[in-house]
């Protein structure tokens, strides 16, 4: 069994934004159940000890935690490369200076659209876009590397050229063009968010041209979305293969969305070590490797390249987490994706909220 490379630390589910595709579970964890500073420090030490090299400090909005500086310092002193994944609306110059002094290595800043009106409608927070621009300036002026993360979908893909301009204007060295993944909140809002084939083809054309035009200045990461794909993505690089997440309440997950699979029991850092969770827990071993695979994954030459795709998506669409991801054209459920695309096209969506 290989050791994990990276830890996603979901410090909180609290967030000033209400994006309708939020990757947090539909059942959000309240502040009172969150791990303490000391518990996170122990998680970071254990993660480094089992081989993790990077930690992604995420949420919710990680800076909604009053101890975010102490948490960052603990991750840094554990020897982890620290990445803050933030919406930026709470990130001012004094806080960034304290984070940098604590050892922060990199900031990933989300944007919901290239224009304030669209961005604030999608994110559900007035004034957010200007605050993000100010946060980007603070990061760049502090000399920290900045990645802009643009989550794209039916309602903002027409602005992709402007999003690329935004990344350049705000001083990002890297842009992630991240298509929405459809489970949890995004699945509830799928009809409003799924892009058309025409939108996708145009987006791919724009990215290819921009990569060439801005070579050496802006790196653009881009993955074709599952609903228009013929083969699934290697979700998380394989279940329990390279990556682990810890939820705000301490549950250790093979993927941040894994709690969307009902009936699974995940280990908790309050009861067990990270090493035991990674190596011995039933949850991590359930879909590890290839032995669990059904047809058509079993024996497929791509089994160890795409690992059968995404377990959460398989569960969301077929009710069986052990099924081949329907994103694969060989899946007996592949037609579900075309059917969803045919139904998509509504404008309204439901914001994320605490239940």
Partner 1 sequence: MTPRFAPGVRLHHDQARARWIVMAPERMFVPDETALEVLRLVDGARDVDAIVDALAAKFDAPRDIIATDVRAMLDDLVARGALAG
Report the nearest approach of partner 1 to the CB of residue 85 (Å). 9
Report the nearest approach of partner 1 to the CB of residue 215 (Å). 5
Examine residue 215 and tell whether it contacts partner 1 (CB under 8 A).
yes
Task: Concatenate the DSSP letters of all residues of 220-279 into one string.
Answer: EEE---GGG-SS---GGGSTTTSEEEE-TT-BEESSTTGGGSTT----BTTTS-HHHHHH
Please give the structure tokens belonging to residue 8.
Answer: 């996603």
DSSP state letter for 33: G
Please give the structure tokens belonging to residue 206.
Answer: 């724009």
Examine residue 181 and tell whether it contacts partner 1 (CB under 8 A).
no
Q: How far apart are the first and last CA of the chain?
A: 39
Q: Using CA atoms, how far apart are residues 281 and 179, in angstroms rounded to an integer?
A: 31
Nearer of residues 146 and 323 to partner 1, judged by Cβ: 146
Nearer of residues 51 and 319 to partner 1, judged by Cβ: 51
Report the nearest approach of partner 1 to the CB of residue 267 (Å). 21
Q: Using CA atoms, how far apart are residues 277 and 161, in angstroms rounded to an integer?
A: 43
The reply, when asked if residue 235 is annotated as ligand binding, is no
Report the nearest approach of partner 1 to the CB of residue 219 (Å). 4
Examine residue 1 and tell whether it contacts partner 1 (CB under 8 A).
no
Return the SS3 of 158.
Answer: helix
x-or-dash pattern for partner 1, window 127-166, by CB under 8 A?
----------------xxx-x-------------------
Contact pick of 168, 219, 234, 336 for partner 1 (by CB under 8 A): 219
The reply, when asked if residue 19 is annotated as ligand binding, is yes
Contact pick of 94, 198, 216, 355 for partner 1 (by CB under 8 A): 216
Please give the structure tokens belonging to residue 250.
Answer: 């301490």
Nearer of residues 174 and 302 to partner 1, judged by Cβ: 174
Examine residue 50 and tell whether it contacts partner 1 (CB under 8 A).
yes
Phi, psi of 281, rounded to the nearest 5 degrees? -70, 145
Residue with tokens 């589910």: 13
Examine residue 199 and tell whether it contacts partner 1 (CB under 8 A).
no
Examine residue 53 and tell whether it contacts partner 1 (CB under 8 A).
yes
DSSP state letter for 148: E
Examine residue 56 and tell whether it contacts partner 1 (CB under 8 A).
yes
Report the nearest approach of partner 1 to the CB of residue 58 (Å). 11
Question: 46, 32, 17, 27: which is closest to 9 by C-alpha?
Answer: 46
Examine residue 23 and tell whether it contacts partner 1 (CB under 8 A).
no
Q: Of the ranges 53-61, 254-262, 270-278, 336-344, which one interacts with partner 1 (CB under 8 A)?
A: 53-61
Whether the CB-CB separation of 16 and 88 falls below 8 Å is answered with no
Whether the CB-CB separation of 262 and 24 falls below 8 Å is answered with no
The reply, when asked if residue 255 is annotated as ligand binding, is no
Print burial letters for 226-260: b (CB count within 10 Å at least 16), e (below 16). Answer: bbbbebbbbbbebbbbbbbbbbbbbbbbbbbbbbb
Contact pick of 134, 173, 224, 264 for partner 1 (by CB under 8 A): 173
Report the nearest approach of partner 1 to the CB of residue 338 (Å). 32
**Largest Cα span, the chain:** 55
Nearer of residues 274 and 328 to partner 1, judged by Cβ: 274
Report the nearest approach of partner 1 to the CB of residue 254 (Å). 19
Q: Using CA atoms, how far apart are residues 145 and 107, in angstroms rounded to an integer?
A: 6
Site residues (CB under 8 A) for partner 1, limited to 72-91: 81, 83
Q: Using CA atoms, how far apart are residues 270 and 46, in angstroms rounded to an integer?
A: 13
Residues binding partner 1 (CB under 8 A): 3, 5, 50-51, 53-54, 56, 81, 83, 105-106, 108, 143-145, 147, 173-174, 215-216, 219
Annotated binding site: 15, 19, 22
Annotated binding site for [4Fe-4S] cluster: 15, 19, 22
């Amino acid at each position: 069994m290989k050791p994990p490379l990276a830890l996603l630390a979901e410090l909180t589910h609290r967030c000033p934004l209400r994006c309708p595709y939020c990757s947090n579970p539909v059942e959000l964890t309240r502040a009172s159940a969150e791990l303490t500073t000391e518990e996170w420090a122990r998680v970071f030490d254990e993660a480094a000890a089992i081989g993790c090299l990077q930690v992604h400090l995420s949420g919710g909005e990680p800076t909604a935690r009053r101890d975010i500086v102490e948490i960052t310092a603990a991750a840094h002193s554990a020897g982890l490369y620290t990445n803050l994944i933030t919406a930026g609306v709470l990130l001012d110059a004094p806080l960034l200076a304290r984070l940098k002094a604590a050892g922060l290595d990199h900031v990933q800043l989300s944007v919901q659209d290239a224009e304030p009106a669209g961005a604030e409608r999608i994110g559900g927070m007035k004034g957010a876009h200007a605050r993000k621009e100010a946060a980007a300036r603070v990061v760049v002026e502090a000399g920290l590397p900045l990645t802009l993360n643009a989550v794209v979908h039916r309602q903002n893909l027409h602005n992709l050229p402007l999003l690329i301009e935004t990344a350049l204007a705000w001083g990002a060295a890297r842009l992630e063009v991240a298509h929405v993944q459809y489970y949890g909140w995004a699945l509830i809002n799928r009809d409003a968010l799924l892009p058309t084939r025409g939108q996708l083809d145009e987006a791919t054309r724009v990215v290819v041209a921009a990569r060439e035009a801005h070579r050496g200045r802006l790196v653009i990461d881009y993955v074709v979305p599952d609903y228009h794909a013929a083969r699934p993505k290697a979700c998380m690089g394989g279940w329990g293969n390279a990556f682990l997440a810890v939820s705000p309440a301490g549950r250790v997950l093979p993927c941040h969305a894994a709690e969307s699979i009902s009936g699974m029991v995940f280990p908790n850092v309050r009861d067990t070590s990270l090493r035991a969770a990674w190596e011995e827990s039933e949850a991590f071993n359930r879909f590890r490797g290839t032995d669990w695979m059904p047809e058509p994954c079993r024996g497929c030459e791509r089994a160890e390249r795409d690992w059968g795709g995404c377990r959460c998506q398989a569960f969301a669409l077929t009710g069986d987490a052990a099924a081949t991801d329907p994103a694969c054209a060989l899946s007996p459920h592949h037609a579900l994706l075309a059917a969803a695309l045919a139904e998509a096209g509504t404008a309204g969506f439901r914001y994320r909220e605490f239940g």
